[in-house]
């Protein structure tokens, strides 16, 4: 990564100790709060209510959404009706599909490029925008402050093996980029979505903080000066990034996520069924492709496949995609057998993905 640093992830740190496995999903009793019962099914499988929530996710109120879209078209003052933050992943791609194909809107698509995007996701977004005839604008940090934040935060945390904070810049930056583009184009409608399978990562934030504190406490004192130096540099680049992407008022600079009163957020998934297999089929007709068709989510950022998957694997026995696979199984969308190969592929790919992240950080 740098001459002063070593690889932020040690392959030896990825493999967790042996645990009891659930025969229905991918959870083991390594996951905080999860137990495997005598019938070899985990406590989440026994108690999960995600099936009911999933069916609520399939409700449709397209007529109401079309009524709203007609209002937006009538109120349009410029070239675009709305703005969409696109990554090339499943959800934002489907929002774009709905906006153009079912609502007849002309959206402006904005992609925030922090330098760690998957090539497959970039290709998907370009292909979709070309197929649907919509404009795509890509926003980057002029000073590469986002990438440098990731680099120094990874170097600070490399001895703990827990990398949750490396994504501390992303949500704020994405919303800031969308708002800035919207304000420049006179737009007030922001289309987005919420995916229940990605949202249900069954580890509380308080537990993550507790695990990180424990790891830092175990770190030898001789490593602390270097860690503090990299924490300081990461904080500096985060400050610079927020200054560069700032959206008024001043309170947004300190907020976890910026807020612009003039913007109206519309969650498309509340109106249109968020049925993963059907979403994939619709997008594939336009040239969109998922690297892992059985699990077509969370493949847009290589930080997740590398640093975050290392963290999740160490603390829970699963990658991020492994947890999503459990949610799909609980909802009855997929079976364990259908997803086993994909989950194993993400497990095996952590080291290679980490090397790719390191190559990109070395250029910063």
What tens digit of pLDDT does each residue of 74-112 get?
999 899 999 999 999 999 999 999 999 999 999 999 999
Residue 102: phi, psi to the nearest 5? -100, -25
Q: How distant, in Å, are the alpha carbons of 84, 86, 246, 303 from that of 116? A: 20, 15, 22, 7
Lowest mean pLDDT among 199-213, 238-252, 349-363: 199-213
Is 70 exceeded by the pLDDT of residue 5? Answer: no
Which residue's entry shows tokens 């990825």? 14
pTM above 0.85, yes or no: yes
Reported as type and span, the H/E element at residue 24 is: none
Give residue-wise pLDDT tens across range 222-264.
Answer: 999 999 999 999 999 999 999 999 999 999 999 989 999 999 9
What is the pLDDT confidence band of residue 203, given thresholds at 50, 70 and 90?
A: confident
- pLDDT value for 13: 45
- pLDDT value for 48: 67
Contact 278, 269 (CB under 8 A): no
- pLDDT value for 348: 95
| Alpha helices per DSSP H over the chain | 43-47, 50-57, 62-75, 90-97, 119-132, 145-157, 170-184, 196-199, 205-218, 224-244, 251-254, 276-284, 302-303, 309-316, 320-330, 336-348, 350-362
- pLDDT value for 133: 97
DSSP state letters, 116-158: -B-HHHHHHHHHHHHHHT-EEEEE--TT-HHHHHHHHHHHHHT
Is the model more confident about 199 or about 143? 143
Is 70 exceeded by the pLDDT of residue 3? Answer: no
Domains contained in the chain, CATH given: 28-362 (3.40.50.620)
What is the pLDDT confidence band of residue 2, given thresholds at 50, 70 and 90?
A: very low
- pLDDT value for 18: 54
Cα distance between residue 334 and residue 326, in whole Å: 9
Quote the mean pLDDT of the chain: 91
Cα distance between residue 51 and residue 330, in whole Å: 6
| Alpha helices per DSSP H over 115-258 | 119-132, 145-157, 170-184, 196-199, 205-218, 224-244, 251-254
Lowest mean pLDDT among 16-20, 174-178, 222-226: 16-20
Cα distance between residue 200 and residue 202, in whole Å: 6
Cα distance between residue 94 and residue 84, in whole Å: 11
- Counting residues of the chain whose pLDDT is more than 70, the rounded percentage is 94
Is 50 exceeded by the pLDDT of residue 1? Answer: no
- pLDDT value for 349: 95
- pLDDT value for 54: 73
Lowest mean pLDDT among 111-125, 177-191, 197-211: 197-211
Is the model more confident about 271 or about 51? 271
Cα distance between residue 111 and residue 202, in whole Å: 28
What is the pLDDT confidence band of residue 182, given thresholds at 50, 70 and 90?
A: very high
């Amino acid at each position: 990564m740098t001459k002063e640093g070593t690889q932020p992830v040690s392959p030896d740190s990825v493999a967790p100790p042996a645990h009891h496995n659930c025969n229905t999903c991918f959870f083991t009793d390594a996951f905080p709060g999860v137990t495997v019962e005598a019938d070899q099914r985990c406590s989440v499988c026994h108690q999960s209510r995600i099936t009911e929530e999933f069916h609520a996710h399939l409700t449709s109120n397209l007529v109401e959404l079309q009524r709203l879209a007609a209002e937006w078209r009538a109120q349009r003052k410029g070239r675009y009706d709305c703005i969409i933050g696109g990554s090339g992943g499943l959800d934002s791609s489907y929002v774009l599909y709905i906006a153009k194909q079912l609502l007849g809107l002309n959206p402006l698509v904005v992609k925030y490029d922090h330098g760690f995007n998957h090539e497959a996701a970039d290709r998907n977004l370009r292909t979709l925008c070309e197929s649907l005839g919509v404009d795509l604008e890509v926003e980057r940090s002029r000073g590469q402050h986002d990438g440098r934040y990731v680099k120094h935060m990874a170097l600070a945390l490399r001895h703990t093996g827990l990398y949750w904070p490396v994504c501390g810049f992303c949500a704020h930056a994405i919303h800031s980029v969308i708002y800035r583009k919207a304000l420049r184009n006179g737009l007030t409608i922001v289309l987005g979505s919420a995916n229940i399978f990605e949202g249900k990562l069954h580890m509380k934030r308080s537990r993550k903080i507790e695990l990180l504190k424990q790891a830092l406490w175990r770190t030898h004192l001789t490593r602390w000066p270097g860690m503090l130096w990299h924490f300081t540099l990461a904080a500096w680049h985060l400050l610079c990034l927020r200054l560069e992407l700032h959206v008024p008022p001043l309170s947004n600079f300190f907020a976890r996520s910026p807020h612009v009163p003039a913007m109206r957020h519309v969650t498309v998934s509340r109106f249109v069924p968020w049925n993963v297999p059907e979403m994939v089929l619709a997008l594939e007709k336009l040239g969109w492709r998922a690297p892992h068709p059985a699990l077509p989510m969370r493949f847009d950022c290589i930080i997740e496949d590398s640093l975050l998957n290392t963290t999740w694997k160490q603390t829970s026995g699963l990658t991020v995609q492994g947890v999503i696979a459990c949610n799909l199984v609980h909802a009855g969308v997929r079976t364990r057998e259908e997803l086993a190969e994909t989950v194993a592929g993400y497990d095996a790919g952590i080291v290679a993905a980490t090397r790719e992240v390191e190559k990109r950080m070395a250029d910063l």
